[in-house]
Chain A
Amino acid sequence: ELKVEQNPLFLSMQEGKNYTIYCNYSTTSDRLYWYRQDPGKSLESLFVLLSNGAVKQEGRLMASLDTKARLSTLHITAAVHDLSATYFCAVDRLEGAQKLVFGQGTRLTINP
């Protein structure tokens, strides 16, 4: 059974600092997704990582995937308040089927 675990679950940080959210998963998969959710809103796709060693960057966010370690990271550089949200990673249990197993989510709060 595929399980996905994120840590930390809650993260409060100061603007300008760097931090990393970790996403571990328990069985083989080559597709990993990162989503952002603002309070009361739906999920916004941030990154889709399709292969070992994949790295994608958008603004202050960078995601990477190590399929051998079954680990993905979401790195935040020089955080700004607008990045406050809940971040989810999700793993596709069957390639191409998009039957996603989600982590619990990391609630990120960035303080001025």
Chain B
Amino acid sequence: DVKVTQSSRYLVKRTGEKVFLECVQDMDHENMFWYRQDPGLGLRLIYFSYDVKMKEKGDIPEGYSVSREKKERFSLILESASTNQTSMYLCAGGDSLNTEAFFGQGTRLTVV
């Protein structure tokens, strides 16, 4: 079974903190993604990466950055957390040969 694993299921952070969300995939896939999910809005793409050290902005990159130093790991960074970044964050991995994107279990982040 392919697997995408996010390091935390639940996180509570304070406003202004630097926050790291970690994601690891065991599929040897080139593509990795970070989405956030909010009620009524579906999932929105924050950043994606199609290779090590490569990244591109998605639809809502403001306030976020990413890091991909190894193929299997993709990190989402909130430079200075704000309350409007309270959300469910979902990591995904995939490659075009397989067509599918596989999602991690999600991290519910609360910024207080």
Q: Chain A: residues with CB nearer than 8 A to chain B?
A: 4, 9, 31, 33, 35, 41-43, 45, 48, 50, 88, 90, 95-105
CA A104 to CA B44, docked complex, whole Å: 10
Beyond A97-B31, A104-B42, whether A42 also contacts B105 by CB under 8 A is: yes
- Chain B: which residue is nearest A43 at the CB level? B103
Interchain CB contact under 8 A, A104 and B41 = yes
Interchain CB contact under 8 A, B105 and A41 = yes
CA A65 to CA B92, docked complex, whole Å: 24
User: How many B residues touch the partner, as a band?
Assistant: 20 to 34
Known contacts A88-B42, A98-B96, A101-B59; 7 further A-B pairs (Cβ under 8 A)? A9-B40, A45-B102, A48-B99, A90-B43, A100-B45, A102-B35, A103-B42
CA A63 to CA B92, docked complex, whole Å: 22
* Residues of chain B within 8 A of A48, CB atoms compared: 99-100
Instruction: Determine how close the nearest CB of chain A comes to the CB of B33; give it in whole angstroms.
Output: 7
CA A39 to CA B31, docked complex, whole Å: 26
- Chain B: which residue is nearest A47 at the CB level? B100
Beyond A97-B50, A98-B33, A98-B94, whether A104 also contacts B40 by CB under 8 A is: yes
Interchain CB contact under 8 A, A100 and B103 = no
Cβ of B74 under 8 Å from chain A:
no
Interchain CB contact under 8 A, B42 and A42 = no
* Residues of chain A within 8 A of B92, CB atoms compared: 98
A-B contact pairs, 11 of them (CB 8 A): A42-B105, A43-B43, A45-B100, A48-B99, A88-B42, A96-B96, A98-B94, A100-B101, A103-B42, A104-B41, A105-B42
Beyond A31-B99, A104-B42, whether A99 also contacts B58 by CB under 8 A is: yes
Q: Mark B74-112, 1 if CB is under 8 A from A, else 0.
A: 000000000000000010101110011111111000000
Q: Which of A4, A97, A100 contacts B96 (CB 8 A)?
A: A97
Instruction: Determine how close the nearest CB of chain B comes to the CB of A79; give it in whole angstroms.
Output: 23
Q: Mark B20-36, 1 if CB is under 8 A from A, else 0.
A: 00000000000101010
* Residues of chain A within 8 A of B31, CB atoms compared: 97-98
